[in-house]
Amino acid sequence: MEDLDEVAHQLEVMTGSPLADAVRGRVRVLAVSEPARRGRFQECRLELLAEAPGVVPTTVQTTAVIQRRYWPETDMILPARISRSRPHVLEVDWEYLARPRSSS
């Protein structure tokens, strides 16, 4: 998996991606819009706090299309890749919302 991560990183560098200097971190959900009563996939407006080693914590507002049954909640923490030089540029692992969690 590390080889694939390295290849992806090199491709980001070559293409000038704003995530070329990204590091693994996390986002904390500070605020989230309410889902509509109907509709499987919906637009979700979020305010996130992006945090990663060597990155100044940054508040980011974003929108994502999410399945209603996996709607994020305030104070939820999600894995993300965050740009060191532009911490408002990030890639959240939205699939994390659908993964089973231990109840410990």
pLDDT digits (tens, 9 = 90+) for 19-64: 788 899 999 999 999 998 888 999 999 999 999 999 999 999 999 9
Read off φ and ψ for residue 20, nearest 5 degrees.
-60, -30
Write down the pTM of the prediction. 0.79
- Mean pLDDT (whole number) for 71-99: 94
pLDDT at 3: 73
Helices vs. strands in the chain: H and E counts, helices first = 1, 5
Instruction: Inform me whether the pLDDT recorded for 91 exceeds 90.
Output: yes
